[in-house]
Chain A
Amino acid sequence: EAQVTQNPRYLITVTGKKLTVTCSQNMNHEYMSWYRQDPGLGLRQIYYSMNVEVTDKGDVPEGYKVSRKEKRNFPLILESPSPNQTSLYFCASSLAGNSPLHFGNGTRLTVT
């Protein structure tokens, strides 16, 4: 089954404790992206990747890192999480940048 898999689904952590949210897709998609969803703000893009070893900033990249060492994986790293990063995070992939996106089921992160 074609899918984008994110883990974990729920994560509660404390300020400053490094964490990684994993994202994997099995559709051989070139493009992958991370979004955060906040009430009243819709989805905002954090980072995206056009291909292996190619990443670029989205609208809200501060406080986040990503890597794309393999085509299928695109982890999101928070080196020192802060409470304002409490949010619902989505990973998505597509054939190309303007193609329809396939979304994961989301990761709800709480930073206390």
Chain B
Amino acid sequence: AQSVTQPDIHITVSEGASLELRCNYSYGATPYLFWYVQSPGQGLQLLLKYFSGDTLVQGIKGFEAEFKRSQSSFNLRKPSVHWSDAAEYFCAVAVFGNEKLTFGTGTRLTIIP
């Protein structure tokens, strides 16, 4: 069965600084990978997804993520964070032929002025 690990429970970043949120997955074949964001009191919103092809994917709100098969990772990055990026971020993995999406435990992002 697939699994997802987000090793950082909470990250604090200064506004304008760069950001990288880590995600590692466990699955033998190439998975489908997602990043979702949850703002306070809201449902989750898709930031970006990787199915195949170019391993660097662009998403909404200036986010990008890179799929690295050798490291089983799909880290989320942003060059310069804004105060509105404060939220909880979830990495998720699905596998072809299995209608099950497995979520990581999330990383809470705090932005300081």
Chain A residues near B (Cβ < 8 Å)? 4, 31, 33, 35, 40-45, 48, 50, 56, 58, 90, 92, 96-98, 100-101, 103-106
Contact = CB atoms under 8 A, between A and B. Distances in A.
Q: Would you call the interface of chain A mostly helix, strand, loop, or mixed?
A: strand
Contact of B103 (A43, A50, A106): A43
B103 A100 contact: no
B11 interface: no
B59 to A, nearest CB: 11
B44 A103 contact: yes
A45 B101 contact: yes
A45 B98 CA distance: 13
Interface centre among B95, B96, B103 (most CB of A within 10 A): B103
Interface string B81-113: 000000000100011101111111110000000
